[in-house]
A and B are shown apart, each in its own frame.
Chain A
Amino acid sequence: MLQVRDLTLRYPNGKLALSRFNIAVSAGELVIVLGGNGSGKTTLLRCVTRTLMPTEGEVRVNGTDLAPLRGERLRRARLELAMISQHASLVRRRSVLANVATGALGRLGGAWTALGGLPTSELAAAHGHLAEVGLAHLAHQRAGTLSGGQAQRVAIARALAQRPRVLLADEPVASLDPEAAEEIMRLLRRLAAEENLAVLCVLHQVELAYKYADRVVGIREGVMAFDLPQAELSRETVRQLYLSEAA
C-alpha cells in the first residue's frame, strides 16, 4: 500500500537528513519506526506527506508516486494519506463532531463547504467514526474541552473521515499518560486490522513498539538501521540503535 524507495533528502546547507531510505507498509499492517532525537523519523513522515520535498526517491501510495506531483494532483493523491501528530491539532472552538467531519473536506467540493458548512451525510459518517473511537457521547462538546487522550482519539476519527488507505502517526502518544498511550496504540492496532489500513507510526516508547507493532524499523542519522518483524527484534538491537545515537 505504501512504498518508499530510495528516499533521500538533502537540505540546502548540504546536510543529509534521509539517505536512500526504503520502507513498505502493507494494508492491515502496523509498522513502528524507532530512533533517537534528530535521527530523521519525522523528516521521513514529512517527506511521505510531501510537506517536505524529497531530493530523490519515490513515495508510492496505492501505486501512485507522490514525489513528482504538484498542486491539484498532489492534493488529490494526498487524500489517500491521513496524518496524526503529537498534538491533536483540533479547532478548539468547534464541536468534536464538526472537527471529525472536516476530515472529509478534501473529498467535498461546492459552495456549502466553501462557506463553512458540512453536509448532513458527512456529519452522520463522522458520528460513526466517533463511535469507532468510543467518543460518540462527546460529539457535541467543544473540542477545546477534551483531555489529551480524548483529543488524540478525535484526531484519529478525523483521519478516518478522510477514508485514507495509509495512516501516518508522528509520535501520537508523546504527550499522553501511559494509560491513554496504551489506549491510542490499541486503537491504531485495531484500525489497521479492521479498516485494512497501512499504519506507519513513529514512536519513542520501545515497549509500545514490542507490544503493538507487526514490524519495527530503526532509523539512525537518516539511514535505515534495521527492519525486522516484531518477534525478531532483540533488546540488544534496540539498545545498539540508541547507543549509537548517543555516541
Chain B
Amino acid sequence: MSEATAPVAWDPRPPGGALAAAKRIGIGLILVLIIAQALIVVEARPQDLITGVHGMADIIRRAVPPDFSKFGSELWPALETIDIAIFGTVVGVILAIPLAVLAASNVSPSRPVYYVARSIIGFCRAVPDLVWALFFVTAVGLGPFPGGLALAVHSIGMLGRLFAETIEQMDMAPIDALALTGARRIQIFTHGVVPSVLPSLLGISLYRLDENIRSSLVLGFVGAGGIGFQLLTAMNLFQYQEVSLLLIITFVIVQAAERLSAILREKIS
C-alpha cells in the first residue's frame, strides 16, 4: 500500500529563491569578464580588418586564377601529406593500444603502472604536434619522416586517452563472466575486452586519421615535408597563384578524408 502524501501547491518562482538568482548573475558576470580579458590580451582591433581590406583584396587578385600548370608537380607533396598522416596514425594506434590498456583503471594490472601509463599519454598529448615536428626535424633532418614521427607521438597522447576511456566505459559483465569460466587474463583480454571495444577503437582511429591529415598540412611549415612545405615556399616567393592551387588541393584532401572517415565510421558502428 502506498503512503498518502500531502498535496504540494505549485510555486511559479524558481527553486532556490534570491540566492540562486544571485549565483546565476555572478556566473554570468564571470563569463563576461573572461571574454573581456581575452579581447584585451589578443589586442583585438576590428578596425584593422577594415583598413586591411585593400591588402587582402590585392592578395586575392594576385592569387586568381590558380596556376593549374603546376598541378602535376604538386601531386607528390600531396601524396606525401596523406602518407605522413597514415604513418603517424598507424604507428600511433599500435603504440597507443598497449598504453591504453595499462592506463584503463578497470583492466590495468596495478596502480603504479596505471599512473606511469597515464603520465606518458599525458605528456605525448600536452606537447603540440608542431613542437614534436621541430624536435624530430632537429633529430632526423628535413622531410616527411619527422612529420610522420611527430604525428605518431602526438597521436599516442590523443588516442591513448580516448582508448583508455573507451575501455573504462565498456560493460564489464561479459568480462566478469569470462573470468568465472576460469579463462586466463590474456584470454579474457583477447576474447572479451578486444571484441567489445574494437569497433569504438577503429572509429576513433579513423577520426584521428582525419585529424592527422589536417595536421600534416601544417607540419610542412617547420620543414617536416608534405604540401605545407610547398605552401610556405610559394608564399615566401609571392607565388600566390601557386598558393591558391595548393589551397584547392588542400581543400580537396581535407574534404575527401573527412567524408571517407565518416563513411567508414558509420559502417563500423
Q: Give the contacting residue for B180; candidates A51, A87, A108, A114; CB below 8 A.
A: A51
The distance from the CB of B265 to the nearest CB of chain A, in whole angstroms, is: 16
* Chain B 194-211 per-residue mask, 1 if CB under 8 angstroms from chain A, else 0: 111011000000000000
The answer to whether B199 touches A116 (Cβ under 8 A) is no
* B186, closest chain A residue (CB): A114
| Chain B at the A interface: SS class | helix
The answer to whether B181 touches A102 (Cβ under 8 A) is yes
Q: Which residues on B are within 8 Å of A, measured CB to CB?
A: 171, 173-174, 176-178, 180-184, 186-187, 190-192, 194-196, 198-199
Q: Give the contacting residue for B196; candidates A82, A92, A102; CB below 8 A.
A: A92
Q: Which residues on A are within 8 Å of B, measured CB to CB?
A: 49, 51, 75-76, 78-79, 81-83, 85, 87, 89-94, 98, 102-109, 113-116, 155, 158-159, 162
The answer to whether B187 touches A89 (Cβ under 8 A) is no
Residue of B171, B178, B186, B198 with highest tally of chain A CB at under 10 A: B178
State the CA gap A87–B184 with chains docked (Å).
22
* A83, closest chain B residue (CB): B180
The answer to whether B199 touches A82 (Cβ under 8 A) is no
Are A106 and B181 also in contact (CB < 8 A) when A114-B190, A116-B191 are? yes
State the CA gap A83–B178 with chains docked (Å).
10
A159: chain B residues within 8 A (beta carbon): 181
Q: Give the contacting residue for A89; candidates B174, B182, B191, B199; CB below 8 A.
A: B174
The answer to whether A162 touches B174 (Cβ under 8 A) is no
Q: List 23 A-B contacts (CB under 8 A).
A: A76-B182, A83-B180, A87-B173, A89-B176, A90-B174, A91-B174, A91-B192, A92-B196, A93-B196, A94-B195, A102-B181, A105-B184, A105-B191, A106-B182, A106-B184, A114-B184, A114-B187, A115-B190, A116-B191, A155-B177, A158-B181, A159-B181, A162-B182
Are A91 and B187 also in contact (CB < 8 A) when A79-B182, A105-B182 are? no
B180: chain A residues within 8 A (beta carbon): 49, 51, 78, 81-83
Are A85 and B191 also in contact (CB < 8 A) when A76-B182, A102-B183 are? no
